[in-house]
Structure 1
Amino acid sequence: MLFERRCYTFKPGEIDRFWEYQERWNTPRHIPRLLERNIGYFETVAGPAEQIVMLYRYDSFEDWQSRLFSGIDEERTNYLVAGRALMLAQENMFLKVCPVDALNPVWGEGRDWLPGEPRFSVARSETVCLVEEVTDFRPGALPAYWNACRAHSTADERALGHLVGTFVALVGRQHRVIRYHWSEDREAALATLEDQRRAPAWTRFVEGYRDDVVQSQTRLLRAARVAWMRNLFEPMAPPEGDNDVEPR
């Protein structure tokens, strides 16, 4: 099982056009094999500005290659050219699930959700927000961090509430951990963060690993503006009708 995180940074004011391009070119009709493994697209609302984060789950590196490069035709090339013209940077990383089963309720031992039916039940999928926490550790520090996670999840049930998953970087910077929690909306996400960090169990948790942290950052991500890229929270289905948005 292989996970991919992509992050695109856009020129100021161009994200609206990016979403228009998804409605025209990136539907389940156009790229079915790729979107079959799309966990979700998300837009940054707190953290680095003008960014889109995308998460995918693949069987293997070969599966990633097969799905990513399938269906490359003239229309797909037009999308890639038009989309990249909106961007300042593209980056991606490969991830694997962390070794603590409790921290992976969706893809942990014996579990393997794939897009199709939603994994989490929400009132309105378009308002859902993900909290993305990225932490870089000193080499050799991860075993102590996993022990701290085990103790924290036992001491405070909120640690596992609305958890999507916890991942470790495979390619690129090593000893990097990425964790995702979801909330019904932005206000709920911020309230949950504040509530967790006020708990005594959180203080003990952080004290168990903070000396090993090199750097950390937190993003707040809202769900995609198109329904078929909110697969954790929405059934994956093609849009109704055709969209006639023209590239610039």
Structure 2
Amino acid sequence: MILEHRAYTLLPGNTAAFWQSQIDRGFAIAKPIMERVLGYFVTVGGPAEQIVHIYRFDDLPDWQTRLRGMYTVKALEPYFKIVRPLMAAQENSFWLPAPVAAATPLWNDRTDWMPGDKPVADLARYPRLVVEEEVLTMKPGKLLVFWPLLQQHGLAALAGLDETLIGCFFSMSGAQHRVVWYRWFPDVETLRARRETAAGGRAWGRYHKVLRDIYAAHETNILEPAPVPEMIPLFVEAAVKGRAAPVGGRKKASRRG
């Protein structure tokens, strides 16, 4: 499986219009990608008025068929004419699951979370829920060095944060040697409190001591779920129709279709 990360930077004042354009377009016509979307979000910490959407595809041919194929649907032409002028820039990147099973609890050899599975968290219970996107850029040649360090030191250091881990991935396109974590939190205050607690632990100090020699940059974004239920199946059970499964996804099998 691969993850696609898309970031649409909107022209100032267009966020509400973007969400409305999705509702007006409808979701049945966008079924091929809605079957693969994990969530749409808006940045509340990081780039201003940026829409981030994340998809899980089987592979690049699956992405090509589902997402790129939509551009040939004539019924979607009115939608594209409305939504594209709202944007200043578009970019995308592809990511692979980290080769450390504990860092990818929803996507590994045993499980494969998909829209229609039981949500990771209930937005109705946590209406102020946020997702933290944390990115570490390694120095050239240091990514392979990082994974044993994550296993040996990082899992313990990040345990408090990773209580609500969505997944850890590494870049397969665009900027190289990058690692991203997605974690959800009930609210921004909980995010900050957990970070402060983690940073005060001995395991945190040991982990960051060994990281100093291998990473080049560190950044975080805070993402807020889209205000449209169909666009956030990670957190809204009714968003995608399908057989519910335990939190953590279904047992892994072929997911094409």
Shift in Å at residue 209 of structure 1?
Answer: 1.1
Contact (CA 8 Å) 1:133, 1:216: kept in 2 or not?
yes
Quick one: structure 1 residues 70 and 41, their matched pair in 2 at CA, closer, same or farther if it must change by over 3 Å?
same
Q: Which ranges of structure 1 fall in alignment gaps of 5 or more residues?
A: 239-248
Contact (CA 8 Å) 1:145, 1:208: kept in 2 or not?
no
Which digits, 9 at most, give the CA deviation of each residue in 1:54-96, with x for residues without a partner? 1101111111011113454334112122111011110000111
Which digits, 9 at most, give the CA deviation of each residue in 1:187-237, with x for residues without a partner? 222222222223222121111112222212100001111011111111244
**1:185 maps to which residue?**
187
Q: Between Structure 1 and Structure 2, how many residues are aligned?
A: 238
CA distance in 2, matches of 1:142, 1:26: 41
Paired AA for residue 237 in structure 2: P
CA distance in 1, matches of 2:210, 2:26: 44
Contact (CA 8 Å) 2:142, 2:214: kept in 1 or not?
yes
Shift in Å at residue 26 of structure 1?
Answer: 4.5
CA distance in 2, matches of 1:74, 1:81: 12
**1:95 maps to which residue?**
95
**1:245 maps to which residue?**
none
**1:157 maps to which residue?**
159
Q: Counterparts of 1:44-83 in structure 2 under 5 Å?
A: 44-71=43-70, 72-83=72-83
Which digits, 9 at most, give the CA deviation of each residue in 1:133-156, with x for residues without a partner? 111111221233222211231466
CA RMSD between the two structures: 1.9
CA distance in 2, matches of 1:138, 1:211: 8
Shift in Å at residue 117 of structure 1?
Answer: 2.9
CA distance in 1, matches of 2:189, 2:85: 33
Quick one: structure 1 residues 118 and 234, their matched pair in 2 at CA, closer, same or farther if it must change by over 3 Å?
farther
Paired AA for residue 36 in structure 1: E
Quick one: structure 1 residues 214 and 25, their matched pair in 2 at CA, closer, same or farther if it must change by over 3 Å?
same
Q: TM-score, normalised by structure 1?
A: 0.89
Paired AA for residue 137 in structure 1: M
**1:231 maps to which residue?**
233
Shift in Å at residue 48 of structure 1?
Answer: 1.4
Percent identical: 37
Q: Which ranges of structure 2 fall in alignment gaps of 5 or more residues?
A: 241-257
Contact (CA 8 Å) 2:157, 2:198: kept in 1 or not?
no
CA distance in 2, matches of 1:149, 1:79: 44
Q: Counterparts of 1:116-155 in structure 2 under 5 Å?
A: 116-122=116-122, 123-124=124-125, 126-151=127-152, 152-154=154-156
Quick one: structure 1 residues 140 and 227, their matched pair in 2 at CA, closer, same or farther if it must change by over 3 Å?
same
Q: TM-score, normalised by structure 2?
A: 0.86
1:19 aligns to 2:9 (yes or no): no
Paired AA for residue 11 in structure 1: L
CA distance in 2, matches of 1:193, 1:176: 21
SS at the partner of 2:53? Answer: strand
Contact (CA 8 Å) 1:134, 1:179: kept in 2 or not?
yes
CA distance in 2, matches of 1:5, 1:112: 18
Which digits, 9 at most, give the CA deviation of each residue in 1:86-119, with x for residues without a partner? 1111000011101111100000222101101333
CA distance in 2, matches of 1:135, 1:176: 6
**2:32 maps to which residue?**
33
**2:110 maps to which residue?**
110
**Bigger mean CA offset, 102-111 vs 194-203:** 194-203
Shift in Å at residue 159 of structure 1?
Answer: 4.5
